[in-house]
Amino acid sequence: MKTSDKILQMLKTQGELTAKVIASELGLTTMGVRQHLQSLEDNSDVIFEDKKATRGRPTRYWSLTPKSNSHFSDRHEELTVQLIDSVKTIFGEQGLEQLIAHREDASFKLYQSALDDAIDLPAKLAVLAKLRTEEGYMASVETGDGVFWLLENHCPICAAASSCLNFCRSELQLFQSLLQQDASISREEHIIEGARRCAYKIVPLNG
């Protein structure tokens, strides 16, 4: 993987970062990283914001632009939106609902089968994050204060979800159905609403 692609990957999964932090994680010089960032900025893939520091000069933080999404999986966005519009035209909103329900049911069966051998909630979330990453969602699990977070840094069906928000409703319902015996789930951050990622808060039912 090229250095510029590694930088894009870091910004996608970690959010805004300084050149110094990027250089440290990649084992490069700060000057070298700045050159890559400059190139990415020239291509409109990244932007920066200078933030006041407690002392000295402001610190420069780099983040991705919407244009950078072209570097990540998009699941043939244009075709997807066209197909959704066609379903609406030919079969109406009810037909689209049936399509979404079918997709949700198929995903539930696939995920449920994969979760069969997971003995507890952390194990189930690890399997779920792996499945979602394989589908292009760049998913990970974090925990703190007795709460789990399923984080998805990319939405490979973003075009479809933007065209029909019920796809997003369906995904939340899918997670709730899969883990209903173990936890309550809510979506706290949403890419479609302008957030950097989708973040699902998972609270164990046993405390």
Between residues 195 and 157, the one the model is more confident about: 195
Same domain, 22 and 93: no
pLDDT at 76 over 70: no
Same domain, 81 and 110: yes
Same domain, 81 and 95: yes
Taking each helix axis as running N to C, give the angle between helix 30-42 and helix 3-14, from 0 to 180 degrees, rounded to the nearest 10: 80
Burial of 177 (0-12, 13-18, 19+ CB in 10 A): middle
pLDDT at 181 (0 to 100): 92
Same domain, 50 and 90: no
pLDDT in tens, 103-123: 888 989 999 999 999 999 999
Same domain, 67 and 88: no
pLDDT at 207 (0 to 100): 56
Which amino acid makes up residue 199?
A
Same domain, 27 and 84: no
Same domain, 196 and 114: yes
Same domain, 141 and 41: no
pLDDT in tens, 152-191: 998 877 766 666 567 778 889 999 999 999 999 999 998 8
Domain range enclosing 59:
3-71
pLDDT in tens, 16-62: 999 999 999 999 999 999 999 999 999 999 999 999 888 888 999 99
Total domains, the chain: 2
Q: What is the mean pLDDT of the chain?
A: 88
Same domain, 88 and 186: yes
Same domain, 150 and 175: yes
pLDDT at 75 over 60: no
Same domain, 66 and 81: no
pLDDT at 163 (0 to 100): 60
Same domain, 98 and 197: yes
pLDDT at 77 over 70: no
pLDDT at 66 (0 to 100): 86
Q: What's the CA gap between 73 and 33, in Å, rounded?
A: 24
